[in-house]
Structure 1
Amino acid sequence: MSVETKLTIDKEYVQSFSDARNEPQWFKDIRLKGFELVETLELPKPDKTKITSWNFTNFDHKLPEVSPVASIDELRDEVKGLIGEASDTQNLLVQRDATVVYSKLDEALKAKGVIFTDLLTAVKEHGDLVEKYYMKDAVKVDENRLTALHAALVNGGTFIYVPRNVEIEVPLQSVFWFDTEKAGLFNHVIIVAEDNSSITYVENYASFGSEEAVANIVVEVFAGANAKVSFGAVDNLAAGVTTYVVRRAHVGRDSRVEWALGQMNDGNTVSENTTHLLGDNSWADTKTVSVGRGEQKQNFTTQIFHHGKHSEGYILKHGVMREAATSIFNGISKIEHGATKSHGEQTERVLMLSEKARGDANPILLIDEDDVTAGHAASVGKIDPIQMFYLMSRGISRAEAERLVIHGFLAPVVGQLPIESVKERLVEAIERKVK
């Protein structure tokens, strides 16, 4: 039986919050629709993970005002570490507690019609464009209680638009962080890549000292014909943060979407990554790495739906569970009727490092068409004692041997990540978790 949780907000709060931000009526209407649905819809039901007692509603939505910075040198050191080299600051958006504190877009990209801004600015200045994509097709308001809550309370995020025939060679990056106790972060990211365009986008999530905080994150990616989108993310939220994250993509004809996801949160997490290969010859690749520790519970579901002919979808997930952590890794490759000559392939592997750690890998193939190829592999096991014996016999301590085994287990995924900056940040996050 579900544990009922009550919101500390009401309809008047949602209305006043929208009015204070001077949002257009259509956006306000979506907020109010979401709020009305919150009490009538059920929580999502991730496979083999009970989330009815998780904290999704105990948070402070009204976050404190923060001042912008003139330079990234004024940011805290941990945030600067996420950004990387100075050359990476040309296309950068930094939000603290859902408020933009730093924003920069290369003038040459602006001249080509590229939009890279926070969601609130986009809603005001590019409302017609945002309205075309916002919570209509990829993620809908009425899917479940948490998507409805997201629609009602969204308070941060990014909007990116790449016009037809524009190729962006330098990555765009967003950094989202909060350090307010019991904060409620409702972040929404939209990426639109028109026909024959390309973009690499990287986002980082971090929290510092956030007790009983909530992160409700939605990403919608739209790739037009012959477009390419490389999406990288490293989620590194603290143990007190309950996270619900949905990342989805619609991929057109001859288009490619790459996902490189580092799921490094320390708190309870439900993560869904879904790609719809709508056009013929569309292609998707999803790589995910996770390290669980403490008593956290996680559920990672990756889905690729093949609709177009000759479409290809690949899923590769490696996870390491330490101490008493529990994780479910679900992979679903669905080839719809009519998607002839399509190919789906997936691998899920989980390594458990203690007696109390638990991992579950579930590869699923759903095939509604004859003329296709598909395959899957999965493994769940404990650390190889022979490996540990070999390393320790060379004078290496048990802790250091375990660290080396973890890095070796995750290396096949980390090494294949297509975005170098994501790879670097992920290696750092892994190192922090295994020390």
Structure 2
Amino acid sequence: MTLQTILPLSAEALKSLSQQKNEPAWLAESRLNALELASRLELPKPEKTKIDKWYLSDYGTYQPATRVTSLQELPEAVRVLLKEEETANLLVQKDSGVVYSNLSDELKAQGVIFTDLETAAREHSDLVQAHLSSVVKNDEHQLSALNAALWTGGAFLYVPKNVEVAIPLQAVFLTENADATFAPRVLVIADVNSSVTYVDNYISTGDAERLHNGIVEVIAKPGAKVRYATVHQLGLNTTDMSYRRAVTENDASIEWIIGEMNDGNTVTDTSTVLKGNGSTSDAKIIAVGSGSQRLNYTTRAIHFGKDSTSQMTTRAVMREEANAIINGITKIEHGATRSNGEQAEKVLMLSPKARGDANPILLIDEDDVMAGHAASVGQVNPEQVHYLMSRGITRAQAERLIIYGFLAPVVSDIPLEQLQTRLQELVERKVGQ
């Protein structure tokens, strides 16, 4: 069987595309190797979710992007997310490529690099080659291999040693043309004792079926602090397969802030490998499912370092016939003494046909540790609804208030005011449908 019959792109076409984009030889070779791997690997097998019949095979074709220089030239779907002053330290990808990229002179002077991953691979080749695919390996499953082979555009962020970036850097990933490849890859490297906040949004327009196969890799060097915030609001016919992973070295930290607001089928896996002693991970996830969505959210922390700490909090609301599998996995490896892993998953169902399955898992291979979990799944309390209605508000308004109260402990704990507002708006949109 030839590659052409089972993969979205032939080896010859991929090699030609790499030459067309003037990619370094190591990247072209890496892509070809990943494509060959994909021909032998199986699809991932998320817990209790069958994806073999999902829309996962059509990656479209690479279509070069046209660069723009101002906010006014960006698509309307992007402009509504941004204010005029937010065009600094911003990157925008439309379909197959980045169309806007801007970094302030102040950050450039400090040695910060923020550009698309394709440009970074050419201009900062040694840095990218040393870290790309070092966190999410190409051979993990077919989707990781295909992303490694076919990714386009993407984002690359590097913060030098001892540099503290006070202003969040932002990216927007937009898919408009369902015939264009949309497989961005994000690589964040925070060097020793640096700190940075990165925020991105994934959005789509149009009704045609399409696939987002995305990978995020974060490397937090010793003492580095990374805050990674992402909001996914892809449309009804967009299948979202997202794999995010961070590695934290000695005394480094990662804070994940995630809003899962898609309208289509979704699988996400957000993981932290606490490699270093004294490293920390804090993941906050809120999700709203509606319609007939099939959703699978996995959050995990794998402790290798001594005195490492992880916290995971997920709150999800399921409407109509939405079905969610929510997995929290804390793994403390042998030797990770005095580690502490805590997790909590809560699901609120608004309809008799909605389903939520919360699965907290603790895997402990060390004695001198602390670990705990909490999980709950339930319907809206009818007594709460009746009480609120007795105060003169409608049933729909009462349910909204209960939902906001349910999500508030996570949303209010988000340290970015702009992101708090954004998530509140998206929750309003989804529960008001």
TM-score relative to the length of structure 1: 0.96
Cα pair 1:233 1:422 within 8 Å, conserved: no
Cα distance in 2 for residues equivalent to 1:355 and 1:13: 50
Cα distance in 2 for residues equivalent to 1:208 and 1:233: 18
Q: Equivalences for 1:219-238 in 2 at 5 Å?
A: 219-238=216-235
The residue number in structure 2 matching 1:28 is: 28
The residue number in structure 2 matching 1:13 is: 13
State the one-letter code of the partner of 1:289: I
2:185 paired with 1:194: no
The residue number in structure 1 matching 2:146 is: 149
Q: Equivalences for 1:34-45 in 2 at 5 Å?
A: 34-45=34-45
State the one-letter code of the partner of 2:78: V
State the one-letter code of the partner of 2:229: G
2:150 paired with 1:162: no
Cα distance in 1 for residues equivalent to 2:253 and 2:52: 36
Cα pair 2:178 2:208 within 8 Å, conserved: yes
Cα pair 2:62 2:96 within 8 Å, conserved: no
Structure-2 change in CA distance of 1:212 and 1:6 (3 Å)? farther
**Range with greater deviation from structure 2 (417-426 or 375-384):** 417-426
Helix, strand or coil at the partner of 1:253: coil
Cα distance in 2 for residues equivalent to 1:385 and 1:429: 25
State the one-letter code of the partner of 1:146: L
Helix, strand or coil at the partner of 1:185: coil
CA deviation vs aligned residue, 1:404-423 (integer Å, no higher than 9, x gap) = 22111111111111322222
CA deviation vs aligned residue, 1:206-261 (integer Å, no higher than 9, x gap) = 00015111001100000111110000000110011111101100101111110000
Helix, strand or coil at the partner of 1:394: coil
Cα distance in 1 for residues equivalent to 2:66 and 2:334: 53
Q: How many corresponding residue pairs?
A: 428
- Residue 90 (structure 1) shift: 1.9
**Range with greater deviation from structure 2 (9-18 or 335-344):** 9-18
Cα pair 1:165 1:197 within 8 Å, conserved: yes
Share of identical aligned residues, percent? 52
Helix, strand or coil at the partner of 2:106: helix
Cα distance in 2 for residues equivalent to 1:378 and 1:182: 41
- Residue 160 (structure 1) shift: 0.6
The residue number in structure 1 matching 2:316 is: 319
Helix, strand or coil at the partner of 1:15: helix
2:406 paired with 1:409: yes
Cα pair 2:290 2:320 within 8 Å, conserved: yes
What stretches of structure 1 of length at least 5 have no aligned partner?
none
Runs of 4+ in 1 over 3 A off after TM superposition: 5-8
2:44 paired with 1:72: no
Cα distance in 2 for residues equivalent to 1:418 and 1:365: 28
The residue number in structure 1 matching 2:58 is: 58
The residue number in structure 1 matching 2:254 is: 257
> Of the candidates 359, 364, 368, which is equivalent to residue 361 of structure 2?
364
Cα distance in 1 for residues equivalent to 2:89 and 2:424: 23
TM-score relative to the length of structure 2: 0.96
Cα pair 2:96 2:180 within 8 Å, conserved: no
Helix, strand or coil at the partner of 1:140: coil
The residue number in structure 1 matching 2:380 is: 383
CA deviation vs aligned residue, 1:113-163 (integer Å, no higher than 9, x gap) = 110000110011011110000012x10111101011111111121001111
State the one-letter code of the partner of 1:111: A
Cα pair 1:185 1:216 within 8 Å, conserved: yes
Cα pair 1:58 1:212 within 8 Å, conserved: no
Cα pair 1:260 1:419 within 8 Å, conserved: no
Cα pair 1:68 1:100 within 8 Å, conserved: yes
Helix, strand or coil at the partner of 1:132: helix
> Of the candidates 96, 107, 119, which is equivalent to residue 98 of structure 1?
96
CA-based RMSD of the aligned residues comes to: 1.4
